Amino acid sequence: MRTPISIAMALVICVSAFSQKDKIKKDREAIKSMCGCYEVSFNFAETFNHSTDSLYKPSKTKVDKGLEWAELITDEDDKISIQHLLQVGNPADPYIVKHWRQDWLFENTDLYSYNTNNTWTFKKLPADQVKGQWTQKVFQVDDSPRYEGSSTWVHVNGKSYWENTADAPLPRREYTTRSDYNLTVRGNRHEVTDYGWLHDQDNTKVIRKSGKEDVILAQEKGYNTYVKVDDTKCAAAAAWWKSNTDKWALVRIKWDDVYGRNQDLSLEQKVNNKVLYKYLFDDEYDQEDEIEEVIESFVKK
């Protein structure tokens, strides 16, 4: 016969299991709510500079707007993948740009941490360190890595948000114009809002040199709003993805093979004076063997 204590313990375990299941459900709903068609506003402004150079010039404030289609491409219990596509130009005949991708993995232990010069350090985290957490993996337009981090989705006082800080390459808006720093420490907050969702960033521009302490050059605020609109506004982007989905599935399969090696990763900036996305954006590269060969050519041995 059970004692009152054992019954109480059983009830606690039961309630805990139910709460965990309910929590995961809320996490998944929050992540998947980032799918759909959005009017996006990208806003970045340098807030503080720490340079000792009296001639230092801060980055110009950056404001861009556009339509973005976020397509759900994987929906599994422990993995959700969302592909972003920009829809720009004449609304009657828009131009589609394959944009970034975000994968969310539940209780993932394998991470790649960026460490300057197009290199990423593989890290194996203890299982207890990522319990209940989701890793967000962010990828470049060619599905090569950008940055990733593991944190807990929080649902409190009517808010749902996820926060993390991760080392990352310079954003495209910076690496084409700046060479005075080589690492961005990205403070990311993804929050579900009544209008859609918000990507709130507090970024630090860092000079990192081997064997030396990091030097902070400047800090930056990013505030990107995703305002939900009717999906029909992104019909052109959705149609483009439908036509190109098979090719990019092959690209992801090859990258999964590379990431699955679970070792430090270093990539060439260019091969034959050409960056990777220019190869993969070329319609001539659509066969599995061609895709595998060109991606492998960028992986330093």
Between CA 260 and CA 266 the distance in angstroms is 14
Q: Where does the pLDDT of residue 292 fall: very low under 50, low under 70, confident under 90, or very high at 90 and above?
A: very high
* Ranges 67-71, 172-176, 180-184, 263-267: which has the least confidence: 172-176
* Ranges 2-6, 45-49, 57-61, 276-280: which has the least confidence: 2-6
pTM value is 0.92
What is the mean pLDDT of the segment spanning 149-165? 96
Q: Measured in whole angstroms, how far is the alpha carbon of residue 101 from the centre of its chain?
A: 6
Per-residue buried b or exposed e for 242-262, using 16+ beta carbons within 10 Å of the residue's own CB: eeeeeebebbbebbeebbeee
Ramachandran area for residue 242 (φ above 0: left; ψ -120 to 50: alpha; else beta): alpha
Mean of all residue pLDDT scores within the chain = 93
The pLDDT score that the predictor gives to residue 76 is 97
* Other Cβ atoms closer than 10 A to 3: 8
Q: Where does the pLDDT of residue 8 fall: very low under 50, low under 70, confident under 90, or very high at 90 and above?
A: low
High-pLDDT (> 70) share of the chain, % = 94
Q: Where does the pLDDT of residue 4 fall: very low under 50, low under 70, confident under 90, or very high at 90 and above?
A: low
Between CA 47 and CA 59 the distance in angstroms is 10
How is residue 276 written in tokens? 């990777």
The pLDDT score that the predictor gives to residue 11 is 42
Between CA 254 and CA 116 the distance in angstroms is 23
The pLDDT score that the predictor gives to residue 13 is 46
* Ranges 8-12, 103-107, 143-147, 258-262: which has the least confidence: 8-12
Q: Which residues contact 9 (CB under 8 A, 6 or more apart)?
A: none
The pLDDT score that the predictor gives to residue 5 is 58
pLDDT one-digit tens code per residue, 176-212: 889 999 999 999 999 999 999 999 999 999 999 999 9
Residue matched to tokens 């954003």? 171
How is residue 193 written in tokens? 């809002």
What is the mean pLDDT of the segment spanning 273-283? 96
Q: Supply φ then ψ for residue 215, to 5 degrees.
A: -115, 125
Q: Where does the pLDDT of residue 301 fall: very low under 50, low under 70, confident under 90, or very high at 90 and above?
A: confident
pLDDT one-digit tens code per residue, 205-234: 999 999 999 999 999 999 999 999 999 999
How is residue 115 written in tokens? 């460490």
Residue 17 has pLDDT above 60, yes or no: no
High-pLDDT (> 90) share of the chain, % = 88
What's the 3-state SS for the chain? CCCHHHHHHHHHHHHHHHHHHHHHHHHHHHHHCCCEEEEEEEEEEEEEECCCCCCCCCCCCEEEEEEEEEEEEEEECCEEEEEEEEEECCCCCCEEEEEEEEEEEECCCEEEEECCCCEEEEEECCHHHCCCCEEEEEECCCCCEEEEEEECCEEECCEEEEEEEEEECCCHHHHCCCCCCCEEEEEEEEEECCCEEEEEEEEEEEECCCCCCCEEEEEEEEEEEEEEECHHHHHHHHHHHHHHHHHHHHHHHHHHHHHCCCCCEEECCCECCECHHHHHCCCCCCCHHHHHHHHHHHECC
The pLDDT score that the predictor gives to residue 53 is 87
Residue matched to tokens 């010069």? 117
